Amino acid sequence: MFIGKGKVIKNKGLFKFNFKVEHDNHLNTHSIARACEDMAKTKTGAIMVITQIDDLAVFAEGGVAMNAEISIPMIESIFYKNSPLHDGAVIIRDNKIISARCVLPVSNNDDFPGHLGMRHRAAVGITEETDAVAIIVSEETGGITYVKDGELFTKRTPEQLEQFLNRIFTQKQ
């Protein structure tokens, strides 16, 4: 679906359709941050990867195709512990949840903190190999972490997460 204005142009007996397409690239950072806040309170584990230039198609294709709107209930239902989609990562591209239950590469960094689990290692791994940003909610502590360029930012509030995402994803506007 696209937003745009169309017009018909007559050209030597043929008709052409000329559409100006406007894409909605604004990331729904508020819903992502609020879902993380809710999942942190219930210690519901989650990992979300948000694409920038790299589209992560190879990782998305290995998961379950979704093409779903980003919303708090959608994110929470995917990561609900009895959901068949809760294991693995969600990949978000162009303000859509494009795939769930995705397997990510893990970091092989020998200096990786031993107290952090596989979600954190996978978040670091995908951000080391691509320009994506990753978000983790720990099921052990309920802590919110985000990762960019392989660097972990732990013990973040939902407000800090939303501000971080806005700084990155409003630059594209």
Cα three-residue angle 54-138-82, rounded to 5 degrees:
90
50 in Cβ contact with 44 (< 8 Å):
no
Q: Which two tokens stand for residue 109?
A: 């960094």
Please write the tens of the pLDDT for every residue from 105-161.
999 999 999 999 999 999 999 999 999 999 999 999 999 999 999 999 999 999 999
Q: How far is CA 17 from CA 5, 21, 78, 129, in A?
A: 10, 12, 40, 41
Average pLDDT, the chain: 87
